[in-house]
Chain A
Amino acid sequence: MKKNASHSHRLSFLYAMIMTVLTYLPIFIVAVYSFNAGRLTSVWEGISLDWYKKLFSDDDILSALGNSLFLGIASSLCAAILATSAALTLPRSALPCKKGVEVLALAPMIIPEIVLGMIFLAFFSLLGLPFGMLTLLIAHTAFGIPYIYTEVRAALVSLDTSIPDAARDLGAGPLRAFFTVTLPMLFPAILSGMFLSFAMSFDDVIISIYVTGVSVNTLPIKVYTQLKTGLSPEIFALCTVMTAVVLLCTGTAALIGKFRKRKGY
């Protein structure tokens, strides 16, 4: 019986390991091919960093990278300001249908991306907004909000409200209490929400394709359009760099989460 159990344990472990390796295999393969010296992607011609050099001297790609970074940072900042202030106050506010608005604020998380892209495109052209960075920013803010909102709400549940109350009792005004007590306590939650929303923004293809203008490219759009025309080692290098950035962001968010747990926020 005991032996049987450990046998099935070993099988479980083996299965899980195989699936994990399979999960990472394609990512790994792309990284390996990005160091291939040859132009032909099917033949291995030795290690080189040429494609990375080429990548970082390609003006199109650099401007797309700049756009992506700006968009990611700007949209997660906007989402953080909107979501945090509302997460703290919406339930206490006198606004009508606040429950419904809360559901709507989280809706972009569950609406199929293609539908979201479609309706943004139609709506922005109805409003006559110029397609480009502004429309990208609005769309990315809209789908970044749910990530920050849920993180902050979750943190608020476990927040010890007696501390801000103590600050008020000791004579701090509401703003002072907020900026010196509540905000620092919520900061890790806001930050990890922002990292998630940045990762989603830095990653998004479907919605961005619809809401961008002709002149503004983001990195994922660039990858998608290039993939449709064919593979090149430069694309592999780009993929590897982008994967690294996303891993760095989510890793940081995870570390913040761990830190928070230890601190007990």
Chain B
Amino acid sequence: MRHRTRATLAALPLYLFVLVFVLGPLVYMLVLSFMTRDGRGAAAVFTLENYRRIFDPVYFDTVLQSLGLACTSTALVTLIGYPLGLCTAFLGGKWPSFFRTAQMIPYFVNSLLRLVGWIIIFRANGLLDTVLMALGVTEEPLRLLYTYPAVVVGMVYVLLPFMFLSVQQVALQLDRTLIEASRDLGAGRVRTFLSVILPLTLPGLKTGILLTFIPSMGLFFIASILGGSKVVLLGSLIEEQLMRAHNQPFAAALSVFMMLLTGIISLLLLEHKPHDKRTDRKNGGEKSE
């Protein structure tokens, strides 16, 4: 019993901290989203108006545009990252972990810092324009900075590691003999991919899509740095409502909406949560040792 009391005392600081500073803000966000704006703050007059406003064309267009951009970025990240994860996993020797580390390092470097390089590249008469014009590919500077494609490139660049890492992790655990068996039994490359590799790496692909899609709606600074004010995300909208319009209840409603949206997408993607064979095998292995 004394043991239990001691454990309780030691766990208490985190317990309280989490209740106050994680649960507290989350609950307050929910409450706030039903309140009425009052100057810079909020009045306790409860309403659904904030949620109705999200569907006003002015704001809903942004929601749709944001979803569109998220879809485009996710599709591109998948097209580039999925094969990258697969083909590095199948390389021999130390290469899989070499490429893993190589992709993991930038993840820890501020995405803002990594985007500065793209500004230099995309700027009118910047690196890309100079190179392309010198090669005679284009005659005029493309002036890609502050355009939609620039934002897409930025998104793909920042989010690619998430896809790559989750695909590679699953692919590394794939039982290679299954591929050989499939080939031995006469299946071609395409058939082997579709009926063996794809289904077995699907969990990683799904996680990758999730980890790409969700942030791509909120990374407002990518849009503001590479897209100027032309590309507005759901995240930018929240920022604007909070910092410039000082409409806290509406910003809260948008945040709840965003969390619901991401929640629904996660549930759809992870609907059949696959039984985690990895931990099973690990635990089994440890026991048998």
Contact = CB atoms under 8 A, between A and B. Distances in A.
Nearest to B8: A93
A20 B225 contact: no
Interface string B144-166: 00000000000001001100000
B29 A15 contact: no
A88 B224 CA distance: 43
B194 interface: no
Contacts of A125: 41
B255 A118 contact: yes
Contacts, number: 233
Interface string A219-245: 010011001100100011001001100
A62 interface: no
A188 B182 CA distance: 44
B12 interface: yes
A19 B3 contact: no
Interface in B101-145: 101-103, 105-106, 108-110, 112-121, 123, 125-127
B84 A115 contact: no
A166 to B, nearest CB: 17
A105 interface: yes
A108 B18 CA distance: 10
A220 B14 CA distance: 28
Secondary structure of the A contact surface, majority rule: helix
Contact of A42 (B4, B125, B262): B125
A47 interface: no
B14 A90 contact: yes
B221 A205 contact: yes
B60 interface: no
A108 to B, nearest CB: 7
B91 A12 contact: yes
A227 B115 CA distance: 10
A173 B259 CA distance: 47
B252 A122 contact: yes
**Interface size bracket, A side:** 35 or more
B68 interface: no
B61 interface: no
Interface in A69-86: 81-83, 85-86
Interface in B194-242: 214-215, 217-218, 220-221, 224-225, 235, 238-239, 242
A53 B117 CA distance: 21
A13 interface: yes
Given A26-B114, A115-B238, A123-B24, A246 B119 contact: no
A250 B29 contact: no
A104 B19 CA distance: 8
Interface in B233-266: 235, 238-239, 242-243, 248, 251-252, 255, 258-259, 262
A112 B221 CA distance: 13
Nearest to A17: B99
B267 interface: no
Contacts of A191: none
B124 to A, nearest CB: 9
**Interface size bracket, B side:** 35 or more
Contacts of A105: 14, 18, 22
Given A126-B28, A246-B110, A9 B91 contact: yes
B116 A235 contact: yes
B117 A92 contact: no
A57 interface: no
Contact of A82 (B14, B26, B32, B251): B14
Contacts of B8: 89, 93-95
B251 A118 contact: yes
A64 interface: no
A249 B95 CA distance: 23
Nearest to A31: B117
Contact of A30 (B29, B105, B113, B262): B113
Interface string B9-34: 01111110111011111101100100
B185 interface: no
A112 B110 contact: no
A15 B87 contact: yes
A247 B101 CA distance: 12
A236 B105 contact: no
B88 interface: yes
A112 to B, nearest CB: 4
Contacts of B17: 82, 141-142, 145
A25 interface: yes
B48 interface: no
Nearest to A223: B112
Contact of A115 (B23, B87, B115, B258): B258
Given A119-B255, A122-B251, A126-B28, 9 more contacts: A13-B91, A16-B87, A41-B120, A42-B123, A93-B11, A122-B29, A122-B252, A174-B6, A243-B113
8 closest A-B pairs by CB:
A26-B117, A12-B87, A86-B14, A123-B25, A119-B25, A89-B7, A92-B7, A93-B8
